[in-house]
Amino acid sequence: MSTRRNNKTSILKRILIYGSIFLFLIFCFVPILWLVEGSFKTHAQDITIPPLWIFPPTLENYEAILSVCAPYFLNSAVISIVSTLLSLLLSIPAAYALSRLSLKGKDTIKMTILSIRMGPAFASIVPFYLLMKNFGPFRLLDTQISLILIYTVFNLTFLIWLLEGFMNEIPLQLEEGAMLDGCSRLGALTRITLPLITPGLVVAATLCFIFSWNEYFFALALTREAAVTVPLGIAMRVSFMNIPWEEMCAYSTLAILPTLLVCILFRKYLVRGLTFGAVKG
């Protein structure tokens, strides 16, 4: 903000400002660098003190970890993608109804929906665990389905809040015009409103994917072997007595790659999503 900056700001002050920013950068970035570098080191290099910052990289750790942990990545991908799609399918019409249509008790519905999302996972874990243990004739513990269902609960509530905000910004007249021309309600939603909020949809879907990809608590309680996800796979290995640090670094690097990319691509929209639409970036 050059207009707000005092031109007479002393050199000392500027050094102080840039110096502090630099320190914050180091604080934020060095741990990540350390992790990623660790994944390209051998075990001996990993435990060398003082730390090696420059070294000939090796891909051995990636080969080792992928031969064991590939199913976890597959599980996480399936669970995250299906849950995101299911949440979108359910939340788009719901958000549309809250934004546009005449419903009684709108505020109560919205409030209930938000409190489901904000509530601690651990308040619902016990009943959900018992529910999945005997879901009618089905035993859903340790299946991808149980995690898809519970992640959809959280993603769905989040999406309804976020998408309603995006829809509120599209002028009603656009839809009314289309409907006068013989378009149905559903047609107005799919042909007019949805294309206009595409950026919102992309960001919302991305945040749902991140939530499902990162989630650990439910995965820990609901799965054992067959449906183990990426975070749980890490945790299982970290609890070993002799942690294979270099392999774990490779595993962790692969685990953070999708969310890291997304963050860099959509940084501008993140703030709106993370504050449930309360703050616009």
Partner 1 sequence: MFVKKDFLYILPAIAFLLVFAVYPTVFGINISLRRWILYYPQQGTPFVGLQNYIDIFLSSSFQLALQTTLKYVIISVGLTFVIGFAEAYLIDKVSFRGKEVVTTLLILPLTIVPVVVGFMWRFMYKEGFGLITAWFLPSLGIRVPTILGDPVLAFWGVLVADVWAQSPLVFLILTAGFTSLPKAPYEAAMLDGASSWQTLRSITLPLLQPVILIAVLLRTIDAFKVFDIIWIMTSGGPGTATTTLNVLGYETAFESYNMGKASALGIIVLYISLALTMVFVRVIGRKKK
Out of 147, 150, 197, 227, the residue judged to bind partner 1 by CB under 8 A: 150
Q: Is 138 in the site for partner 1 (CB under 8 A)?
A: no
Write down the least CB distance from residue 257 to partner 1, Å: 10
| Minimal distance, residue 62 CB to partner 1, in Å | 16
As a whole number of angstroms, the distance between CA 204 and CA 90 comes to 13
Closest CA to 203 of 279, 150, 113, 274: 274
Task: For residues 159 and 147, give the distance between their C-alpha atoms in angstroms, rounded to a whole number.
Answer: 18
What is the phi/psi pair of residue 276, to 5°? 55, 35
Q: For residue 259, state whether it binds partner 1 (rule: CB under 8 A).
A: yes
Answer yes or no whether residue 103 interacts with partner 1 by CB under 8 A: yes
Per CB under 8 A, 48 contacts partner 1: yes
Residues of this chain, 52-71, that bind partner 1 according to CB under 8 A: none
Q: Is 199 in the site for partner 1 (CB under 8 A)?
A: no
Does residue 105 bind partner 1 (CB under 8 A)? no
Residue with tokens 């685990």: 255
Convert residues 222-241 into a mask of x (bound to partner 1 by CB under 8 A) and - (unbound).
--------xxx-xx--x---
Told to check if 203 binds partner 1 by CB under 8 A, we report no
Q: Which residue from 78, 82, 153, 201 is in contact with partner 1, where contact means CB under 8 A?
A: 153
In the complex, the smallest distance separating the C-beta of residue 198 from partner 1, rounded to whole angstroms, is: 20
Contact positions with partner 1 (CB under 8 A) in 5-24: 5-6, 14, 17-18, 20-21, 24
202 binds partner 1 (CB under 8 A): no
Residue 3's identity, in one-letter code, is T
Closest alpha carbon to 157 in 219, 87, 79? 87
- In this structure, how many other beta carbons lie within 10 angstroms of the beta carbon of residue 125? 16
CA dihedral 224, 226, 232, 237 (to 10 degrees): 80
Give the whole-angstrom CA distance, residue 269 versus residue 281: 6
Closest CA relative to residue 218, chosen from 134, 136, 273, 153: 153
Binding of partner 1 at residue 182 (CB under 8 A)? no
